A and B are shown apart, each in its own frame.
Chain A
Amino acid sequence: MAIDQATVRKIASLARIAISDAEAAAMEGELNGILGWVEQLGEVDVTGVEPMTAVIPNTLRLRDDVVDADPLTGGGRRDDVLANAPAPQHGFFGVPKVIE
């Protein structure tokens, strides 16, 4: 199923990527080329086949319910967390005003 430029703009909006009309036009052809090619998957008989969930058999572990069990992924690292934020304010991430 081919997609049109309106669909391209819809996908870009879902993906939160601003695109110009010229980019949308270029992308229409590229995406249709790729989607047309992947559609050959439809010819594979997958009756009774389960979709892959884990490529190597593994069980999800639960860690002990302990605060800051691993210091690298625990709390108390506000300054580290904010160190690369483009606009931190008062110890928080800053965002443009969102209330009218």
Chain B
Amino acid sequence: MTELTNLTVAEIRDGHRAGDFSAVEVAEAFNANVAGAKALNAFIVETPEHAIAAAKAADADRAAGTLKPLSGVPIGMKDLFATNGVQTTAASHMLEGFVPRYESTVSAKLWDAGCGMLGKLNLDQFAMGSSNETSYFGNVISPWKRKDGGNAALAPGGSSGGSSSAIAARLCPAATGTDTGGSIRQPAAFTGISGIKPTYGRCSRWGIVAFASSLDQAGPMARDVKDCAIMLENMAGFDPKDATSLDLPVPNWEAALSSDLKGKTVGIPKEYRLEGIDPDIDAMWDAGIAMLKDAGADVVEISLPHTKYALPAYYIIAPAEASSNLARYDGVRYGLRDLPQGAGLQDMYAATRADGFGPEVKRRIMIGTYVLSAGFYDAYYTQAQKVRTLIARDFEQAFGMCDVILAPTAPSAAFGLGEKMADPLAMYLNDVFAVPASLAGLPAMSVPAALNREGLPLGLQIIGKAFDEQGVLNAGLAIEERAGFTARAEKWW
């Protein structure tokens, strides 16, 4: 029998259903992998008992003939989702020791579907970062290494870096992620796995620690497209507790998966051809175009003229929303309190926030506070929101000519830890291809497509029309079938 930890979500679900193995065996196998992978630092909290309890329930349900959609499947939960009775920190000192008394909608749905939790996954602090180097609980290390004889520790991407690293290292078959400006797709690309950010509003934001509410969207990360479809079906759905939740039925994405793209048109955005970009990225993109043609699709060049303004608009809008959302950390209601001797209320706020937030979080709160302050609001914030309208309009016009858009997920393969930390702007630029779809609220996914010359994975991104996750998943499947990406990181941890 194949090693249980090499199975996909679909294989675990179906194998458990068929009686090939027990859910407890699966949970124990993944718990052992988690316990043996401390060097990756992918988890902030491990919850083997949660995984075992859900597995026992799954085995009992099988005996009773009352199986649930994901009975027997253990997963990782990004530590941005509030979990009842289990510490939830957003990888910050501010929330260290915070134990929610309620469950986020998305995690509750997954437990109701039969999943068990292997642990809470590390991330960039408050999901702000692209390399998982801003966590208060230490860097997550990618399981991948460059094939250059060196031993440099590589970034697993961010902000869902614990999720990507854990899946790539077979510590869990799937995990939740959240994507504000690429935080599902870029880490998926860096670690050779798949991940989808659905249309804004598909997954409830209730119980997810807020970063930038008009952009935040949960989604699954897994080893292949089918698993992403299965997971997303069990995460999405209307929630009256989220004012921006979409009141739409959840499609049966798994059943409708099809890699036959006859009659579909794929748009190739000319503005995404960056000068001086890594030739391996361009070569992968060209190979992806050929794969989609081979699947029956027509390919057309499209234009998204405001692409170069997406990142600067994002770095006004996201910090502005963050400065407002993070105002709740006041040392009074939950989380850290730093009360210097003799300090009053205002000094307590300032001391608590100085102590509880890391440098990148402070930087973004400061930027956000500035662009929302009297006298600068129109010049920065209103202008950025107008540009955001133009970016969404670019996509609308492009989708008059095509069904999905194909582009690279990131402008580079995984970089080394520490390589970009000195310059915030260089780090921000890594999300250049991911941010436009976030600003437009569109579904987008990354699928592994190739290895670069250093032996590191590269991802292709598919962006779809609003509500058309199916079109995105189908194009992703067409690439997956043709790319034949089977490479995995050699175990060193």
- Looking at the assembled complex, report how far the CB atom of B321 sits from the nearest CB atom of chain A, in whole angstroms: 12
User: Quick check: is A67 within 8 A (CB to CB) of the other chain?
Assistant: no
B466 contacts A by Cβ under 8 Å: yes
- Looking at A13, A37, A46, A56, the one whose CB has the most chain B CB atoms below 10 A away is A56
Is A91 engaged at the interface, CB distance under 8 Å to the other chain?
no
Residues 382-400 (chain B) with a chain A CB within 8 angstroms: 382-390, 392
Question: Does A66 lie at the interface of the complex (its beta carbon under 8 Å from any beta carbon of B)?
Answer: no
Majority-rule SS of A interface residues: loop
Q: Report the minimal beta-carbon distance from A54 to chain B, rounded to whole angstroms.
A: 8
B485 at the interface (CB under 8 A from A): no
- The answer to the question of B23 belonging to the interface, with a C-beta cut-off of 8 Å to chain A, is no
**Chain A window 13-55, contacts with chain B (Cβ cutoff 8 Å), 1 for yes, 0 for no:** 1111111000000010011011101111110101001111111
B337 partner residues in chain A, CB cutoff 8 A? 86-87
CB pair B331 A17 closer than 8 Å: no
Q: Does A72 contact B (CB under 8 A)?
A: yes
Question: Interface extent on A, as a size class?
Answer: 35 or more
CA–CA, A25 to B386, complex, Å? 32
Measured CA separation A80–B243 after assembly (Å): 23
CB-based contact B392/A93 at 8 Å = no
Residues from chain A with a CB closer than 8 A to the CB of B335 are 84, 86
B365 is an interface residue with CB less than 8 A from chain A = yes
In the complex, A11 has a CB within 8 A of chain B: yes
Residue A3 is within 8 A (CB to CB) of chain B in the complex: yes
Determine if B354 is an interface residue (Cβ-Cβ < 8 Å). Answer: yes
Q: Give the contacting residue for B332; candidates A15, A19, A27, A93; CB below 8 A.
A: A93
Which residues of chain B (211-259) have a CB below 8 Å from chain A? Answer: 214-215, 240-241, 243-244, 246-247
CB atoms of B373 and A52 under 8 A apart: no
| A77 nearest in chain B by CB position | B101
> Which of chain A's residues has its CB closest to B348's CB?
A96
Contact B367 A41 (CB under 8 A): no
Contact with A along B318-346 (1 / 0, CB 8 A): 00000100010011111111010001111
The answer, yes or no, to whether A6 is at the interface (CB within 8 Å) is no
Q: Are A34 and B424 in contact (CB under 8 A)?
A: yes
Select one of B315, B351, B365, B366 contacting A18, CB under 8 A. B351
Does B350 have its Cβ within 8 Å of any Cβ on chain A?
Answer: yes
B369:A95 contact, CB within 8 angstroms = no
A27 to B313, CA, bound (A): 21
* B339 and A16 contact, CB distance less than 8 A: no
- Whether B343 pairs with A96 at a CB distance below 8 angstroms is yes
List the A side residues contacting B306 at CB < 8 Å: 44
**Across-interface contacts of B330 in A (CB, < 8 A):** 16
Asked if B439 is at the interface (CB within 8 A of a chain A CB), the reply is yes
Known contacts A55-B440, A61-B240: A15-B333 contact under CB 8 Å: no
Q: At the interface, yes or no: B109 with Cβ under 8 Å from chain A? A: no
**Residue B21 at the chain A interface, CB threshold 8 Å:** no
Report 7 cross-chain contacts, Cβ distance below 8 Å, ordered by A residue.
A3-B370, A17-B366, A49-B386, A51-B388, A56-B246, A80-B101, A86-B337
Give the top 7 A-B pairs by smallest Cβ distance, nearest first.
Answer: A51-B385, A55-B441, A86-B337, A84-B334, A18-B350, A18-B354, A80-B101
